Homo-oligomer: A and B are copies of this chain.
């Protein structure tokens, strides 16, 4: 007998920070058929709150440096305000959600990142091998929809700030032991675009080899690089499919589908020069 399907959806900070867009998104999320799990960011709101509190936000390579004050801030914003409001909104529309950090039920143990070469502070990287698959599985099989914020812990009493894309990657990979998992990275673009200003330039599908060519061409750059790296690692480790798409297209699944077809190179290096 095949595994049940599980949709793991990651929603980013820009939509989390927009109440109308968020409500539409949560309604679509609830309409997704079958078992599902949500992972959310919240960096935009955290940065605003940091300003309000007079805490300086330091970013290196798109990642927040998390000192003690910043850890307190992001834990309050991600695990407190955003997570609980999202759960209350989902409950309102009939989705039996439960909000979790990686500390809850020891669901996502992580390791504090080495301070060399860059000391990111209280930042952790989860290891899919250590994710508490059985606990998350039991919740889902009780009919519950887990909603994860991007806060984890080291098992020694320390909370850790974690990249939400990485949490989604890690949970998807781990849960592939129990489910046929599809991972949806929702953000504010249509997917991978040949021309960032033209939604019609969407690349509908891509394998790892092709993504390397797009990187060389500069089509894939900045924040998209770690997202794609996570995606292809997830596919290599058993995730059935990864789709990068605009949050509004969650139900139609229109976006860039990442596929695991070695040698299936359909583009020419000269395509976009």
Contacts and interface: CB of A to CB of B under 8 A. Distances in A.
B99 A84 contact: no
A232 to B, nearest CB: 31
A46 to B, nearest CB: 11
A84 B53 contact: no
Interface stretch (A155-163, A170-178, A236-244, A265-273): A155-163
Contacts of A105: 96-98, 144
Contacts of A101: 84, 87, 99
A104 interface: yes
Contacts of A91: 103, 106, 153, 155, 157
A61 to B, nearest CB: 26
Nearest to A100: B98
Interface stretch (A75-83, A180-188, A191-199, A253-261): A75-83
A157 B84 contact: no
B53 A88 contact: no
Given A53-B52, A99-B104, A100-B98, A79 B88 contact: no
A49 to B, nearest CB: 8
B88 A84 contact: no
A60 interface: no
A81 B76 contact: yes
A89 interface: yes
Number of copies: 2
Contact of A157 (B88, B142, B144): B88
Contacts of A104: 84, 87, 97-99
A92 interface: yes
B138 A92 contact: no
A178 to B, nearest CB: 16
A11 interface: no
A65 to B, nearest CB: 19
Interface in A76-130: 76-81, 83-85, 87-89, 91-92, 96-101, 103-106
B89 A157 contact: yes
Given A84-B151, A88-B159, A92-B156, 5 more contacts: A79-B80, A88-B158, A91-B106, A92-B157, A97-B105
